[in-house]
Amino acid sequence: MKKERRASEMNRENRGNQGCRRKGANGRKVTYLLFALAGVMLLGSTIGSTRAALTYYSENYTAQITVSQIGVSLLENGQVVSSRDYDKDEWKTESNRGKDSASGVLLQNMLPEDKNGKKEKLALNKKYEEKLSVRNSGSIDEYVRVRIYKYWTKKNESGQDVKVTTLSPALIDLNLINEGQWVKNPADVAETGDGSEKECMELYYKGILTSGSETAPFADTIRIDGEVASEVTVETKGDTITTVYKYDGVEFHVDVEVDAVQTHNAQDAIRSAWGVDAAGLGIL
């Protein structure tokens, strides 16, 4: 009985070894098959790229993409006084004061020169040309506003300029024109209903100022009102009576700021930049 059992166990082992040998052969077949497939795929990919290389292609073209570059310039009597443009990833500022100076000089040619190169004296009530406008010197369209500051100063005993608050800014008569295109801030108009004038005035350009174009001027002349010579004191010394003008030697100032903002999403952009309701102002 023992011998028979032993024989049957051996037969079983032999059958098992045969099965393992068959399974190993099948596994190798799959491996070879996959290897061949990988080889074919690799070859196929090479062929594909060869095909791509062989396809006809056109000449090279250079495409220039212009990114949004905003810029604005202030002009006085047709000459650029000051500009600030975004160009090639940096701000480019230029003014008649010099390169890299963000603030220009106004009124430097207001008084004409005589034959000897001496400047004419400032005359009261005389109108001098002062044509002020704005140019879009950037590559995108924009909305524009200007702020005009008018005030008086006088040198004190130590030679410093101090503001004269008893003289009205209205005596500096910067004649504003094209009021259909330049809208005054209604708040300024409401505050100065009595005929007086604020030190700062805001004007908004109605509509979009397209790239490269220039606005109609917002001012054309400047005049100092003769009223500035109305306050005097009289000094009597012997036979001579002398009038001393209260405001002799005062200096008038005109400062102009120009702000520009993008036209995309204009309502929000203007509110963010200038703090006003553009639609309410009627400038959109």
213-272 residues in contact with other proteins (CB under 8 A) are 224, 226, 228-235, 240-262, 265, 268-269, 272
| Least distance in angstroms from the C-beta of 108 to other proteins | 6
Q: Does residue 125 touch other proteins according to CB under 8 A?
A: yes
CB 225 within 8 A of CB 152: no
State in angstroms the smallest separation of the CB of 250 from other proteins: 5
Q: Which is nearer to other proteins, 34 or 122 (CB)?
A: 122
Which secondary structure element, helix H or strand E, spans residue 148, and what is its range? strand 142-155
CA distance 91 to 101: 12
Of 256, 255, 258, 261, give the one whose Cα is nearest residue 134.
Answer: 258
The residue (of 182 and 252) whose beta carbon lies closer to other proteins is 252
CA dihedral 32, 37, 40, 44 (to 10 degrees): -160
CB 117 to other proteins: min, Å? 15
Site for other proteins in 130-169 (CB under 8 A): 138, 140, 142, 149, 153
Q: Smallest distance, Å, CB 174 to other proteins? A: 11
Q: Which helix (H) or strand (E) holds 245?
A: strand 240-245
CB 184 within 8 A of CB 135: no
Nearest to 150 by CA among 197, 184, 188: 197
Is residue 197 within the footprint of other proteins (CB under 8 A)?
no
Is-contact 83 89, C-beta < 8 A?
A: no
> Which window, 12-20, 30-38, 65-73, 203-211, contacts other proteins (CB under 8 A)?
65-73
| Minimum CB–partner distance for residue 273 and other proteins (Å) | 5
* Length of the chain (residues): 284
Q: Which two tokens stand for residue 89?
A: 């990833």
Q: Kindly state the smallest distance separating residue 239's Cβ from other proteins, in Å.
A: 9
Q: Closest separation between CB of residue 153 and other proteins, Å? A: 7
User: 134 or 281: whose CB is closer to other proteins?
Assistant: 134
- Establish if 281 lies at the interface with other proteins (CB under 8 A): no
| Closest CB to other proteins among residues 11, 242 | 242
Chain centroid to CA 201: 21
From CA 22, how far away is CA 16, in angstroms rounded?
10
277 binds other proteins (CB under 8 A): no
Residue 203 is a binding residue for other proteins (CB under 8 A): no
Which residue number, 85 or 202, has a Cβ lying nearer to other proteins? 85
CA 282 to chain centre: 22
Residues of this chain, 81-120, that bind other proteins according to CB under 8 A: 81-86, 91, 93, 95, 102-108, 110-111
Task: Decide: 172 and 254 in contact? Cβ < 8 Å.
Answer: yes
Q: Are 241 and 235 spatial neighbours (Cβ–Cβ below 8 Å)?
A: yes
Interaction between residue 66 and other proteins (CB under 8 A): no
**Closest distance to other proteins from the beta carbon of 210 (Å):** 15
CA atoms within 13 A on the CB side of 116: 2
Question: By CB under 8 A, is residue 123 in contact with other proteins?
Answer: yes
